[in-house]
Amino acid sequence: MKKLLLGLFLTTMPLVGCGTDEGSTLPDASEFVVTADQQEMSIEQRDAAPGEQAPEVGAANISVSENELACWVVLEYCRHPNTGIPHCTATGCTRAEAIRNCEALIRRTCG
């Protein structure tokens, strides 16, 4: 009986671990961008939460637009696990600001 229960346990265990990794997929709001110099990236536009402040600018993966302190971009991945291209989140930025800041972060961080 113990062997039967152990066998059932071992055969069902891998089924529990199977499934999609929802944390590594791109959000639906992501936009794929190809710049003039053929740099591919995905940018997710998001709104700041009430009272949310821009993160510390000294971090390597953060860029705050000089003329607009309400705009910041975070480089989330140099190579996203699903797409293989860089992925940024932009908060409070225009599309042009998001692309410019994401591209600068890619050059500075990803090498």
pLDDT digits (tens, 9 = 90+) for 2-45: 443 334 333 333 333 333 344 445 556 789 988 888 889 999 99
Amino acid 7: pLDDT: 43
Find out whether 53 and 47 touch, Cβ atoms under 8 Å.
no
Give pTM, 2 decimals: 0.66
pLDDT digits (tens, 9 = 90+) for 96-111: 999 999 999 999 999 7
Calpha distance 109→106 (Å, rounded): 5
